[in-house]
Every structure is written in structure tokens, then in C-alpha cells.
Amino acid sequence: MAFSEQHPWGRVDETGTVFVREGDGERAVGQYPDGTPEEAIAYFERKYTDLAGQVTLLEQRARRGAPAPDIAKAVSALTATVATANALGDLEALQTRLGALSGTVNELTEQQNAEDKAASEAAVVERTAIVEAAEALAAQDPAKTQWKQTTTELDALFARWQSHQHDGPRIPKGEANELWKRFRAARTTLEQHRKAFYAELDSAHRDVRNRKQQLIEQAEALAPRGGDGVPAYRQLLDDWKRAGRAGKKQDDALWERFKAAGDVLYSAKAEIAAEENAEYSANLELKLAVLVDAEKLLAEKNVDKARTALAGVQRRWDEIGKVPRDQVRVVEDRLRKVETHVRSLEDDRWVREDPEKKARSEGLAGQLEDAIAKLQDDLDAAKKQGDARAIAEAEEALAARKAWLKAIAG
């Protein structure tokens, strides 16, 4: 049987040897001695079909944008395989298709290089933004920094850094190292500031505790003077307010002792006050009448009108004189409520107009303001219940916190 009559790309001889046509000649690709010529040809055609399938798959991968180095490596390996393949078919056509893929790889390489460069540049921008955010935290005034919030923000930035480094595009090693140095420096600066801030705060708290302990001892020494010791105790209270903070837990315990010393003096003074009640009963009636006019201001919304009217009320109030001691707090509380309302109108306007509200609300000042708001609620609740002792305690504590806030702000 002639070459061309057996198969368009080869033949099989009487020994079962199969030849594939290459150019003007032919090459033996293998034997199939125990089968018919048709079976021999079919066997080596299947080998060709498998090779052609591999070329087709590679072409599809290239069209889908598979990594160019992977495509190039596969083209090289498959080209060598096709050149010596023991298969029957148009091997030259497969070589031509593989040659075309080499050109595609070049184009794909350029495209992917451009995409990788753009992705790398974008990654540098994003990682730089993380670094700059950390540096902005490190540049804050340590005295005004909210350390719990700042620490949380820094931890979130570090988590972003790790995620970006692990899952994001690769960036040049030099730039990556430089950005990490900046980020690490910002973290180090923040940690140094945090430690210094708390060390200084601890030292300040220790000094305040010592000063308040001295004030407690002086207050307790006033007990033998009874009610006459109240003025001296009030002076000590002013010193207490100016002493500053000793830390919440310590402040509360120290205040209980200081207040207990004052309660002894005020109890003695209350006994004297009982003797004076009858003398001041007439004044009580006059002040109750003033209160009727004053409490109309609770519905006033105009701060200027309220302030002017309150000045008149306060002048009439002072001219009347003293009232029975057991009624002093009752009438004073009613007047304080009116004064508080007017102050709240002024505060509301101040809050609306003050551009530095946010700055003043930071740090310890913000914590004190929260405490003042809570104490005010406690005072209002005590007034509603008519609990004189609770009212006194709330007022004293409120005055102390306001003084601390003023000291911090000053």
C-alpha cells in the first residue's frame, strides 16, 4: 500500500511499524506488531489528538490571561514534546500554533507587567496612607491624647498593614522596607509617649494623694471646735478642690474621709442653727415670695432676659437676709435650680458659639464633664426625694469636680 493511500500523515509497514510524515521525509514513531494496520494507525492518532488537546488548552489559558511566565514555560516544554512526538498527525501544524503562542506570550507579558506595575504603585499609595495615619497618631499632643482610643486605632492600622502585606500586590522591596521603618517608628513613638504620659500621671496622682491626706488630717483636727470649725473646713475644702485628681478609686476613698470630718462640724453647727430658726421665720416668707417670681424664669428661653431678671431676683434675695437653718437648703435649692437654668442657657449658647469645644472635651476634661453630668443627675434625684444628706453630698462632689475641671482647663 502506498504512503499516501494509508494515511494523509503517515503509514504502517508489514512489521507494524508506524511512520509519520515530516517535510519531504518520514520518521518512525513506534510499532504496533500485534494489531492490524488500522489499529496501529488509530493508536498513534490518539497520541496526536492528546497533543493537539494540550495545545488547545494552552491557547485557552493564554486567552484568559494566565500568568505569562507559566504560558511561556508550557509552550517551551510542549514544543520540545511535539518535535519528537511518537504520534500520527499534522505535527507541523501544532508547531505553528505553538510558535504563534510565543508571540502571544510576549504581548501577555507586556500587558501583565503593566498591570503589575499599576497594582504595585496603587499598593504603595495605600500602604503609605496607612503609614501616614500612624504618623498622625504619633504626632498628637500626649497630654491631650485619648490613649484607649488611640491604641485601638493603631492596632487597626497594624492589622490593615498585615493584611495588605499578606494579601495585597507586591511592592518593591526598598519601598516596602522604608514604609515599614516609618510605621515602626510611629508605633515606637506612640508607645514612648504613652508610657511617659502614664508615668507622669502616676507621679501627679501620688503627689495629690499626699496633699489630700494632709488636708484630711487637718480637717479631722477641727472636730473639737464644733460649728466654729466650719469656716476653716471650708478653706480646707477650697484647698481640696485645687489639689487635683488622685485617680478615681483613691479620690473616692479620700473624699469619704474628708467629708466625714466635715459632717462632724456641720452637725454641731446644725444644733446652733436650730436656735436661730424662730428669728428668721419672717425672712423665710419674703424669700418664698421671691421664689415665686424667680421660678417663672424656668420657662424663659432668652438668655439675656433671663440673666437680667435673675440679677434682680438675686439682689432682692440678698437684701432679705437669713432664713431658719432648716429651710436654708430648701429655699437655696429652689433658687439654685433657677440659676442652673439660666447658666444652662448661657452654656448652650457658649457651646454653640465656641469653635474649640471639641478640643476642650478631650482627655481628662472630657472624663470630668461626664462625671459632672452624672453628679447633676444624682443631685436632681436627691432633690426630688427630699434627701438632705444626699443633696449635700452631691453638691459637694459636684463642686469638687467642677473645680478640678477648671484647674485642668486653666
Q: How confident is the model at residue 333 (pLDDT cuts 50, 70, 90)?
A: very high
CA dihedral 178, 179, 184, 186 (to 10 degrees): 120
308-332 tens-digit pLDDT: 888 888 898 888 888 888 888 998 9
10-12 vs 25-31, strand pairing mode: unpaired
pLDDT surpassing 90 at residue 351: no
pLDDT surpassing 50 at residue 157: yes
pLDDT surpassing 70 at residue 356: no
> What does the pLDDT read at residue 5?
45
Determine the Cα–Cα distance for residues 108 and 94; give it in Å rounded to an integer.
Answer: 20
Calculate helix-pair angle for 325-353, 281-294, nearest 10 degrees: 20
> What does the pLDDT read at residue 44?
93
Buried b (16+ CB within 10 A) or exposed e, 233-244: beebbeebbebb
CA 355 to chain centre: 24
> What is the distance between the terminal CA atoms of the chain, rounded to a whole angstrom?
113
- Residue 10: strand, helix, or coil: strand
pLDDT surpassing 70 at residue 241: yes
Determine the Cα–Cα distance for residues 368 and 149; give it in Å rounded to an integer.
Answer: 17
> What does the pLDDT read at residue 275?
66
Calculate helix-pair angle for 68-83, 37-63, nearest 10 degrees: 160
> What does the pLDDT read at residue 2?
39
Determine the Cα–Cα distance for residues 21 and 92; give it in Å rounded to an integer.
Answer: 10
CA 274 to chain centre: 58
Q: What is the DSSP string of 342-369?
A: HHHHHHHHHHHH-TTHHHHTSHHHHHHH
CA atoms within 13 A on the CB side of 218: 16
Find the farthest-apart pair of alpha carbons in the chain and give their distance in angstroms, rounded: 147
61-92 tens-digit pLDDT: 888 877 878 888 888 899 899 888 999 999 99
Mean pLDDT of the chain: 82
Mean pLDDT score, 5-17: 82
Determine the Cα–Cα distance for residues 3 and 26; give it in Å rounded to an integer.
Answer: 10
Cβ pair 401, 374 in contact under 8 A? no
Q: Specify whether the backbone of 18 is left (phi greater than 0), alpha (psi in -120 to 50) or beta.
A: beta
Cβ pair 200, 166 in contact under 8 A? no
pLDDT surpassing 60 at residue 4: no
> What does the pLDDT read at residue 3?
39
> What does the pLDDT read at residue 364?
65
Q: How confident is the model at residue 110 (pLDDT cuts 50, 70, 90)?
A: low
- Enumerate the domain spans of the chain: 3-113, 119-198
Cβ pair 29, 18 in contact under 8 A? yes
> What does the pLDDT read at residue 196?
79
Least confident of 23-32, 130-139, 347-356: 347-356
Of 200, 205, 217, 202, the closest CA to residue 243 belongs to 205
Unique residue bearing C-alpha cell 500554533: 97
